[in-house]
Amino acid sequence: MTTAEREREDLWQTSVRQDRERRRRELDAERYRFHADQAERLRRTMTQLVEHHEKEAKKLLEVKE
């Protein structure tokens, strides 16, 4: 393999590594957004469920009084 061929091979390998790293960062960002959004959806749902059950429990106490 000539020096020029080795240099081209090295450049190609560097390019592949950079592309893989860029793609990994993109996927990490997508996963972050998914988990952050899911946490917010669950927080809203759980808050609504807690409020609903507290209201229902209060109704039961009012009926007994």
Half-sphere exposure of 5 (CA within 13 A, CB side): 2
Domain layout of the chain by residue ranges? 1-65
Half-sphere exposure of 48 (CA within 13 A, CB side): 6
Contact 19, 12 (CB under 8 A): no
pLDDT band at 65 (very low <50, low <70, confident <90, very high): low
pLDDT value for 23: 98
pTM for the model stands at 0.68
Contact 19, 11 (CB under 8 A): no
pLDDT in tens, 9-62: 999 999 999 999 999 999 999 999 999 999 999 999 999 999 999 999 999 998
pLDDT value for 29: 98
pLDDT value for 41: 98
